[in-house]
Structure 1
């Protein structure tokens, strides 16, 4: 999931440089959502790993 976040960040940067503001904003928003989902799942996996 972190890989997808990085891909969308790079896509947002490239789209922003080329002047596609709408696409850049959409890709940045998707990257932000995926990043927070990744962080939540990472924290949950750490918590579950300690209980076992």
Structure 2
């Protein structure tokens, strides 16, 4: 992630944002782009965490 995105945002807030985006139907490509990541990297980093959070 870009440093400016990470500053002031907790890991929990990032995970909550990713979870909400997925629940609303956002694709991994859309989520990744919003955080400056590829779809693959976003999915690799967060899909397991999102599943655990549910």
With the length of structure 1 as denominator, give the TM-score of the two structures.
Answer: 0.37
With the length of structure 2 as denominator, give the TM-score of the two structures.
Answer: 0.36
**Structure with larger RCO (C-alpha < 8 A, sep 6+):** 1
Higher helix share: 1
Larger Rg: 1
